[in-house]
Amino acid sequence: MDLKRLEKQSDYRWQIPQSVAMRVPGLLFASEPLLREMDDKVYEQLVNVAQLPGIVGAACAMPDAHWGYGFPIGGVAAFDPEAGGVVSAGGVGFDISCGVRLLHTGLMYAEVLAQQAALAEALYLQVPAGLGSRGRLHLSDRQMDDMLQGGAQWAVAQGYGEAADLERIEEHGCMAGADPSQISQRAKTRQRDEMGTLGSGNHYLEVQRVVAIYDQQAAAAFGLFPDQVKVSIHCGSRGLGHQIGTEFLKKMAVSAKNFGITLPDRELACAPLDSTLGQAYLGAMRGGINCALANREIITHLTRQAFAQLFPQAELPLLYDVSHNTCKEEWHTVKGEKRRLFVHRKGATRAWGPGHPELPEDLRAVGQPVLIGGTMGTSSYVLAGVSSGDSLAWDSACHGAGRRMSRRQATKQWRGEAVIANLRERGIIVRSPSLRGVAEEAPDAYKDVTDVVDAAEHAGLAKRVARLEPIICIKG
């Protein structure tokens, strides 16, 4: 990216000046090296997002931002329904409510290392992964609608997961306002056999070792200590979310002119929040959120079963589950006034600071866990939200490292067999049904996650708590 087009506000905060066409400026939270590495499309897409009706504050990009569909991945924008604000399917993304959850195991690294290969095999056999993977559940029409309305709460009621998990999930495991009637039969059919599956792409199930602590108080509150073993699950709403996004993007693009909306980019198709179409999308999207929450809850149940085969004494309570492809109705302070906004976070994580009333009581003093995923051979991080995040980027932070090259480029540079062998030499076991998928997700195809986390912390979006490294990775 050409830095000459930006105004430097600090070493980790850069502004795109507001042009005549823009309703607000653009803001990028990144170090200079990360900015230089970003493609120019991020700049162009932020400028376009800043032109949408009812946008408030600024169009924001996180340190891991890269080109996406309409919105950049790592994009954050808030819209006021009282000012003609819109909802954009491209501002949520196709994998609705894709997110990360982190489980404790109560086990130490040496215990797991002794059973590493056996545990990898048990997890691989227990949790379906890969493009088009199918689970053991087959949902009837009634069960599908119940799941779309109930989310993780539905999963727990069906015997998948534990009631205690719900206190550690966004929205207590169920997003209110879901409307299954707004979700097409095609979307439901795609999802009927996919509950409890990882899918493909950058999704994974990782067994990880805590290798560093940066904030003792927050780490103690989160239950993180050196050499402990944790499990990280990264996936979303699978085929259902993709189908919802595809269908509503078409409807929004066709209807834009009827709403008097001039789109700077067709991929930014949107609808007024108070319109029939806008409300229909919100109802469908919330069903997609519930699908993702239920999916991760079922995978958690399957993970616990796999661990029980080798470690019957182990318990796997949930630390936290947070999504990074959503549009949420939230209250935020704008120029000293509380306003009801609809915050789009695409490839960006909600990051509530200390004292937020919706956080579990035992986490409230230190802030929300922010889970930053790596990819197979790279570190993952646990951060904590900070109070200043509200005024900066609507209580948001990054969600991962962000790609530095396309999947196609990655497959030209790496072979799946070689990636797996290289990681095995480093003590990391990778199991995947797709060697091509492994090549696409080669660690070096991503930015340095440590640089991204460092930028997020210096920008005041969140603070580092702990670093984890993979032992086992189940990839789609």
Write down the domain spans for the chain. Answer: 3-475
pLDDT at residue number 457 = 97
Q: Which of 31, 60, 99, 64 shows the shortest CA–CA distance to 449?
A: 64
pLDDT band at 390; cut points 50, 70, 90: low
332 is catalytic: no
pLDDT at residue number 406 = 87
pLDDT 10s digits, 244-274? 999 999 999 999 999 999 999 999 999 999 9
- Report angle CA 122, 125, 131 to the nearest 5 degrees: 135
Q: Do residues 228 and 319 lie in contact, with contact meaning Cβ atoms separated by under 8 Å?
A: no
**DSSP state letter for 263:** P
pLDDT at residue number 108 = 98
Mean pLDDT of 291-296: 98
Backbone angles phi, psi at 417, to 5 degrees: -60, -40
Looking at 256-378, list the stretches that DSSP marks H as alpha helix, in order from N- to C-terminal side: 276-310
Q: Which of 66, 203, 242, 399 is catalytic?
A: 399
pLDDT 10s digits, 175-210? 999 999 999 999 999 999 999 999 888 899 999 999
pLDDT 10s digits, 65-92? 999 999 999 999 999 999 999 999 999 9
Q: Do residues 152 and 160 lie in contact, with contact meaning Cβ atoms separated by under 8 Å?
A: no
Pair of tokens at residue 333: 């302070």
Q: Do residues 423 and 430 lie in contact, with contact meaning Cβ atoms separated by under 8 Å?
A: yes
pTM for the whole structure: 0.96
Q: Mean pLDDT of all residues in the chain?
A: 95
Q: Do residues 117 and 234 lie in contact, with contact meaning Cβ atoms separated by under 8 Å?
A: no
| Distance from C-alpha of 185 to C-alpha of 193, rounded to nearest angstrom | 14
Q: Do residues 379 and 367 lie in contact, with contact meaning Cβ atoms separated by under 8 Å?
A: no
Pair of tokens at residue 106: 């109560």
pLDDT at residue number 202 = 87
Sequence-distant (6+) residues with CB within 8 A of 177 are 282, 283, 286
Q: Which CATH number fits domain 3-475: 1.20.1070.10, 3.10.50.40, 3.30.450.20, 3.90.1860.10?
A: 3.90.1860.10
For residue 52, the one-letter residue type is L
Mean pLDDT of 159-184: 97
Mean pLDDT of 96-117: 98
Looking at 169-314, list the stretches that DSSP marks H as alpha helix, in order from N- to C-terminal side: 185-191, 216-222, 238-255, 276-310
